[in-house]
């Protein structure tokens, strides 16, 4: 497992290229948000309960540990180091009154793929499978194959030498070999609206 490390460059990387949608699998959770930031209609406790039920008897169950930050929720196997990091919407993010319902919604999920031995690697595989099952049921093996988690990735999913990404419905999966498995929401209409370039001039009538 690892201590939290996140850079602006990686945030940008998550946004670029999420538009490729290779499948019509149904997504489990709706999305709210703006063109700048989006959230699954899924709160930390609901996710934790569903994940622990899914991995029961397959991998260690997780629990929340103190993060020291209202925006970050750390889920741990051992009560000390984190296995899954959740970035959530907080009161500090409020810009409109009707956004109060968003408090606690998940913006990003990061699974650490740190592995110290074969047993840890097997557990990582179970967590990956369970997370995909929760967000896009039925697409588990297809997502793993497209991202190249256990073999060669699909060509269209390759972002860099070690990073692959694919979108299923409104769920964007990003895999960084030997490092992390990340899940983010992706609303194509909102994303495209934010990236439309206005014309520099309009012909007079």
Q: Strands, DSSP E only, in the chain? A: 21-23, 31-33, 38-43, 63-65, 72-76, 82-88, 105-112, 163-168, 171-176, 180-185
* Residue 161: HSE in the Cβ half-sphere, 13 Å Cα cutoff: 0
- Quick one: pLDDT at residue 42? 97
- Quick one: pLDDT at residue 23? 59
- Quick one: pLDDT at residue 11? 38
- Quick one: pLDDT at residue 25? 84
Parallel, antiparallel or unpaired: strands 163-168 and 82-88? unpaired
Contact 111, 83 (CB under 8 A): yes
Question: In which residue ranges of the chain is pLDDT below 50?
Answer: 1-16, 19, 194
Phi-psi group of 18: left, alpha or beta (phi > 0 → left; psi -120 to 50 → alpha; rest → beta): alpha
What whole-number distance in Å separates Cα of residue 83 and Cα of residue 65? 11
What whole-number distance in Å separates Cα of residue 150 and Cα of residue 140? 13
Q: What is the pTM of this model?
A: 0.83
What whole-number distance in Å separates Cα of residue 87 and Cα of residue 106? 6
What whole-number distance in Å separates Cα of residue 103 and Cα of residue 94? 8
- Quick one: pLDDT at residue 14? 41
- Quick one: pLDDT at residue 19? 46
Distances (CA, A) of 188 to 30, 178, 199: 13, 29, 21
**In this structure, how many other beta carbons lie within 10 angstroms of the beta carbon of residue 156?**
12
């Amino acid at each position: 497992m690892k201590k939290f490390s996140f850079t602006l460059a990686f945030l940008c990387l998550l946004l670029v290229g999420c538009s490729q949608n290779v499948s019509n699998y149904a997504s489990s959770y709706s999305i709210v948000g703006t063109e700048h930031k989006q959230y699954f209609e899924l709160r930390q406790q609901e996710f934790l309960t569903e994940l622990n039920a899914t991995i029961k008897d397959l991998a260690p169950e997780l629990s929340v540990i103190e993060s020291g930050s209202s925006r970050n929720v750390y889920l741990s196997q051992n009560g000390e180091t984190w296995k899954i990091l959740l970035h959530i919407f907080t009161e500090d993010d409020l810009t409109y009154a009707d956004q109060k319902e968003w408090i606690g919604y998940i913006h990003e999920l990061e699974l650490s793929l740190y592995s110290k031995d074969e047993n840890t690697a097997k557990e990582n595989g179970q967590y990956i499978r369970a997370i995909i099952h929760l967000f896009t049921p039925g697409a588990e093996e297809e997502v793993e194959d497209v991202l190249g988690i256990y073999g060669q990735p699909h060509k269209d999913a390759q972002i860099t030498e070690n990073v692959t990404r694919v979108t299923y419905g409104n769920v964007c999966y990003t895999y960084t070999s030997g490092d992390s498995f990340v899940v983010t929401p992706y609303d194509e209409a909102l994303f495209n609206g934010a990236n439309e370039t206005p014309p520099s001039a309009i012909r007079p009538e």
